[in-house]
A and B are shown apart, each in its own frame.
Chain A
Amino acid sequence: MIPGRPRPLHRPARAVTALVIGAGHAGLAMGHHLAQRGIDHVILERGEVANAWRRERWDSLRLLTPNWQCRLPGQPYPGPDPEGFMGMPALIALLEGYARRLASPIHTGTRVTAVRAMDGGYRVETDRGTWHCRALVIATGATQLPVVPALAEALPPWIESLTPLAYRHPSQLPPGGVLVVGAAATGVQLADELQRSGRQVTLAVGEHLRLPRRYRGRDIQWWLEQAGLLDQRFDEVEDIARARRAPSPQLVGGPSPRDLDLNALSERGVRLVGRLAGLSGTRLQFAGSLAMHCSAADLKLARLLDNLDAWALAHGWHDALPAPERPAPTRLPARPRLGLDLAAGEIKTVLWATGFRPDFSWLQVPVFDARGRLRHHGGVVEHAPGLYAMGLPFLRRRKSGAIHGADDDARELADHLAARLAGASTGGRAPRRPEAALPAP
């Protein structure tokens, strides 16, 4: 190819058995397992390896999982600081190194523009040519599009309104107060950072998950992993739709471990208000449900710690660890504010930490429910043979959304994919089912 000139438009489609879209941790993990099974495949990546971690995260972000937990298929954490928390440069280096050692061909700078079903597989159109494949794995990430309530459109024009995808550091915001909407991991981290930058932060709090960074001398992730909670499967939980909607826990990774719950934020001066419920003219309205949401989160945390203590007792850890403790209940303002007039000038910026969703706009296959969510059974997309998803919240296990969650999911989905290919190539005979819990491929 001549540098600086576009590739010819009329190239014949290339054929590959399996195609993975996305070279983040989930796509790379799938590449590892496909390579292990000798399945011919490629990984297409719109930008570079670990693209979203490079371009769509704020500067100070660190992973919520300690380094020792950042395992990839065939690779334990290789660095010198197992108890630390990776920032973005370290994570990008980790994924780059992993990608280099991977046998998978990775086509970077290749943006998928459309995927369509075709006889015996899928047709994948990109800005650098077309591919045909028999199996397709979507590993494009769960957090590509910010979810912002409709009332954001009605904010007065003098209010700066931005999402975490556009946020990098506090100095990018105008001076003055900030309303952070949402108290999951993103919301509490940005509220903390902005309050430390000298701005008065108001935090609108709805349903949330409170977690301590450390419990009885161990990182909370150690507990969740050891007690088996992270391995809990999608077909074991009572209401998987609800489990997949759960907000990310109020955690932060940092040079030294610390809690980042609502009490820590209040102590720093952040003002707590209820869920953002409405906007009437220039007046923001907050729900009167702050006490309920905080009490529910405190109760849920107490139940979790009770279960962890019971697990420690049953598994011989109890005497080896410091005594059980309980965090103080969430402290609330006596009368949380129910309204805030944006015309008063107190708030200059609204930051929407109201969640994210994946972007499947390129997927021209009827695999969505009435609300536009991908219909899948543990990552096996329904009514679309050979189509798989990776890296979505609680895809197959509670840990599915985390870096270390990709290995088990990729292994099982690669098995399913391989069984399907084998079945198809032997004249459609019923393939061996690798796992009882999976639907017939």
Chain B
Amino acid sequence: MQTATQAIDNGVNVTALLGAREALAQAPEAARFTWRAHCDWVMGTHSRVAVEAFHGLGETQQHRQRFTFDVDHPAVFAAEDHGPTPVEYVLVGLAGCLTAGIAAVAQHRGIQLRSIRASVEGSMDIQGILGMDPEVRNGFDDIRVVYEIDADASRAEIEALVAQSQKRSAVYDLLTNPTHVMVSVK
């Protein structure tokens, strides 16, 4: 059994997260968050989406700054490629979410990370979005994430980090479970 304690630092404030868990157990309504994005069409398939404010802990919260994202399609879609495609942003979200989770879980479990790399692939048959075949779905039919993790831990411990991160990931949940979506016109 290891008795020496080393300072593990993955840059995650686990104490604050655990404190939040405790505080929210007393005030569950503060745990209701609403995330927001605002989109302006530019031209063609090019849009610009901004993210700045969200709601949580009972009040409106602000990001440190306003973030903007260009969304477009590449030349093979006869577009001008001003930015990643919407489905690529979904992969961005998944990779970011799972990787943040791995860092947090590793910190909580006392595992020092040196590097994490993930390759994320989503495959789809575009006959769906082109309306060519009603049997083909629009979205991804498969998503594959492959992690390469360098850490002071056994392979089994690393695999357990990756499993736990999936279990607590919002984006993983969004992609693997149905979500009620309502789109309306003002």
Contact-residue bracket for chain A: 10 to 19
In the complex, what distance in Å separates the CA atom of A333 from the CA atom of B110? 35
**Chain B residues in 8 Å Cβ range of A299:** 156, 159-160, 163
Contact A296 B178 (CB under 8 A): no
**Chain A residues in 8 Å Cβ range of B147:** none
Contact B163 A274 (CB under 8 A): no
**Chain A residues in 8 Å Cβ range of B156:** 299, 302-303, 306
Q: Is A363 an interface residue (CB 8 A)?
A: no
13 A-B residue pairs with Cβ-Cβ distance under 8 Å, sorted by A, are A277-B176, A278-B178, A288-B177, A289-B166, A292-B176, A295-B159, A295-B163, A299-B159, A299-B160, A302-B156, A303-B156, A303-B160, A370-B28
Contact of A289 among B141, B142, B159, B176 (CB under 8 A): B176
**Chain A residues in 8 Å Cβ range of B166:** 289, 292, 296
Interface residues of B in 144-186 (CB under 8 A from A): 156, 159-160, 163-164, 166-167, 172, 175-178
Q: Is A438 an interface residue (CB 8 A)?
A: no
Contact B177 A296 (CB under 8 A): no
Shortest B125–chain A CB gap in Å is: 13
The 10 closest A-B pairs by CB, nearest first: A288-B176, A278-B178, A296-B163, A289-B176, A277-B177, A292-B166, A287-B176, A287-B177, A285-B178, A299-B160
Shortest A283–chain B CB gap in Å is: 10
Query: SS class of chain B's interface: helix, strand, loop or mixed?
Result: helix
List 12 additional contacts besides A287-B177, A289-B172, A295-B163; criterion CB under 8 Å.
A277-B176, A277-B178, A278-B177, A278-B178, A288-B175, A289-B166, A292-B163, A292-B172, A295-B159, A296-B160, A296-B166, A296-B167
**Chain A residues in 8 Å Cβ range of B141:** 335
Query: SS class of chain A's interface: helix, strand, loop or mixed?
Result: mixed
Give me the interface of A with B, judged by CB distance under 8 Å: 207, 274, 277-278, 280, 285, 287-289, 292, 295-296, 299, 302-303, 306, 335, 370
In the complex, what distance in Å separates the CA atom of A207 from the CA atom of B173? 13
Residue of B nearest to A278 (CB): B178
Given A292-B166, A303-B156, check contact A280 B178 (CB 8 Å). yes
- Residues of chain B at interface, number, CB under 8 A: 15
Shortest A307–chain B CB gap in Å is: 12
**Chain A residues in 8 Å Cβ range of B163:** 292, 295-296, 299
Shortest A183–chain B CB gap in Å is: 16
**Chain B residues in 8 Å Cβ range of A285:** 177-178
In the complex, what distance in Å separates the CA atom of A426 from the CA atom of B175? 63
Contact of B176 among A274, A296, A302, A306 (CB under 8 A): A274
Shortest B154–chain A CB gap in Å is: 10
Residue of B nearest to A292 (CB): B166
**Chain B residues in 8 Å Cβ range of A278:** 177-178
In the complex, what distance in Å separates the CA atom of A283 from the CA atom of B48? 36
**Chain B residues in 8 Å Cβ range of A207:** 167
Shortest A378–chain B CB gap in Å is: 20
Shortest A298–chain B CB gap in Å is: 9
In the complex, what distance in Å separates the CA atom of A207 from the CA atom of B166? 12
**Chain A residues in 8 Å Cβ range of B142:** 335
Contact A292 B159 (CB under 8 A): no
**Chain B residues in 8 Å Cβ range of A289:** 166, 172, 176-177
Shortest A297–chain B CB gap in Å is: 9
Residue of A nearest to B159 (CB): A299
In the complex, what distance in Å separates the CA atom of A274 from the CA atom of B177? 10
Residue of A nearest to B178 (CB): A278
In the complex, what distance in Å separates the CA atom of A370 from the CA atom of B178? 27
**Chain B residues in 8 Å Cβ range of A302:** 156
Q: Mark B63-92, 1 if CB is under 8 A from A, else 0.
A: 000000000000000000000000000000
Residue of A nearest to B175 (CB): A288
**Chain B residues in 8 Å Cβ range of A288:** 175-177
Residue of B nearest to A274 (CB): B176
Which among B28, B167, B172, B177 has the greatest number of chain A C-beta atoms within 10 A? B177
Residue of B nearest to A275 (CB): B177
Contact A292 B178 (CB under 8 A): no
Residue of A nearest to B141 (CB): A335
**Chain A residues in 8 Å Cβ range of B28:** 370
Residue of A nearest to B163 (CB): A296
Shortest B19–chain A CB gap in Å is: 16
In the complex, what distance in Å separates the CA atom of A370 from the CA atom of B166? 28
**Chain B residues in 8 Å Cβ range of A292:** 163, 166-167, 172, 176
**Chain A residues in 8 Å Cβ range of B172:** 289, 292
**Chain B residues in 8 Å Cβ range of A303:** 156, 160
In the complex, what distance in Å separates the CA atom of A85 from the CA atom of B36? 57
**Chain A residues in 8 Å Cβ range of B178:** 277-278, 280, 285
Q: Mark B12-33, 1 if CB is under 8 A from A, else 0.
A: 0000000000000000100000
In the complex, what distance in Å separates the CA atom of A274 from the CA atom of B178? 12
In the complex, what distance in Å separates the CA atom of A277 from the CA atom of B180? 12
Residue of B nearest to A294 (CB): B163
Shortest B24–chain A CB gap in Å is: 13
Shortest A208–chain B CB gap in Å is: 13
In the complex, what distance in Å separates the CA atom of A302 from the CA atom of B177? 28
Residue of A nearest to B177 (CB): A277
Which among B141, B159, B163 has the greatest number of chain A C-beta atoms within 10 A? B163
In the complex, what distance in Å separates the CA atom of A306 from the CA atom of B157? 12
